[in-house]
Structure 1
Amino acid sequence: DVLNITVSGQQGHGGMPWNTVDPVVASAYVIAGLQSVVSRRADLTKSPAVVSVGMIHGGSSQNVIPDTVKMVGTIRSYDPEARKQLHADIKQAAEHIAEGTYAKAQVDILPMYDVTDNNDALANQMLPVLKRAAEAGVVPGSLQGASEDFSYFAKEVPGLYIFLGVTPDGEEPAKAAPNHNPKFFVDEKALVVGTRAMAAMAVNFLMSGSPN
């Protein structure tokens, strides 16, 4: 989910902060406080959760305290109830922390993608197919923090989401640069494996006569 928070204060001179309400300081407290939403409010025995602020914008000069600061972040969760609770706790925390510095926080959360959940029966059916296509180079995927609109398709019909390894030979996947990184590199030989896997799964599924 997308998190938008606008912290409003009162603009003034940076050399006379007592005449202002500083939204920059308030925003710093809000960002720090949001981390306790996960560490102290979310039941992590039921579902992991993440709250990250990726952008913060405010101010126009080094000696001017601005009126507002805007921040944008992301919320990741794996359970509908945990998701609902996160939204409520984030809103409460941001608003109350800002009030503690005499500022105000406006919290807007845009719900995005549901959890991508593989169908167990389909995954078991396709595992031997994938092993042949990838020459046995198949491992179970771990729980991911990324989001994917494939979840919408998987809610309508049985779905199976797979990752295609693109790390060049001789390089350790754990040390390779991930996506969202300027050094990310795709070994295009992986496209052969990916095409073979998709074709093999399609043929297997059609030949199985599955009503789905």
Structure 2
Amino acid sequence: MAAQPINDESDNDTYPDVPAIPAGLRIPPPHRRAPVHHQPIAATGKAPAVWLLGAHGRSGAGTLARIWAPAADADGGWPAADRYPGVVVVARTDFDGLTAAQDLVLQAAAGLIGEAILLGTALVPYAPGRLPKSLRRKAEIVAAASPAVWQIPWIDDLPLHPRSELATWSPADPPPPPPGRMRGPVSSAASPQPQLAAVGMDIFTAARTAYAR
């Protein structure tokens, strides 16, 4: 579906519907923003409760949309015309990914996302282990500008399965059993990973709260 780019903030005097930009806020240039979808992305079927907006290519948004049943991929833009317009920006925790996430969070802070609602940012690890100090600081900057931040855990076997075979999680699913010392690791294709289910439930709850306001 073709998305229409939003007006630049310089058009405020000509187009009164364009929101005023908060003073002092750094706004990314138009080519670093995501477009605003002025037509619904979800044309048929059950409307997703949450949209996942990948800040860049291979962000992990498509994989998470497959795992979390209430979510869907936002097709690269802000779902301003959908029934449930809540958005989670998804980005890898490398330098470029965090920079792209910051751009989208600042775009939202400037009110340049139509009727979409930024719920928060999901940060997907680019590698196992602790982030280097420079990237931790950059992630903190993204977190400071975002309504919420969800840290996606590193799961060893997740890249080993085709996306189409990954197990899905739904808010109606029973809570996962507590980890046991005698139980081996669970395949991501056999059952939703408990860590991802917990994050999915937190995001679903955030969306429900936002829509109730």
State if a TM-score over 0.5 links the two structures. Answer: no
TM range (shorter): under 0.3
Please identify which structure carries the higher helix content.
1
Q: TM-score, structure 1 length as denominator?
A: 0.25
Which one has the largest radius of gyration? Answer: 1
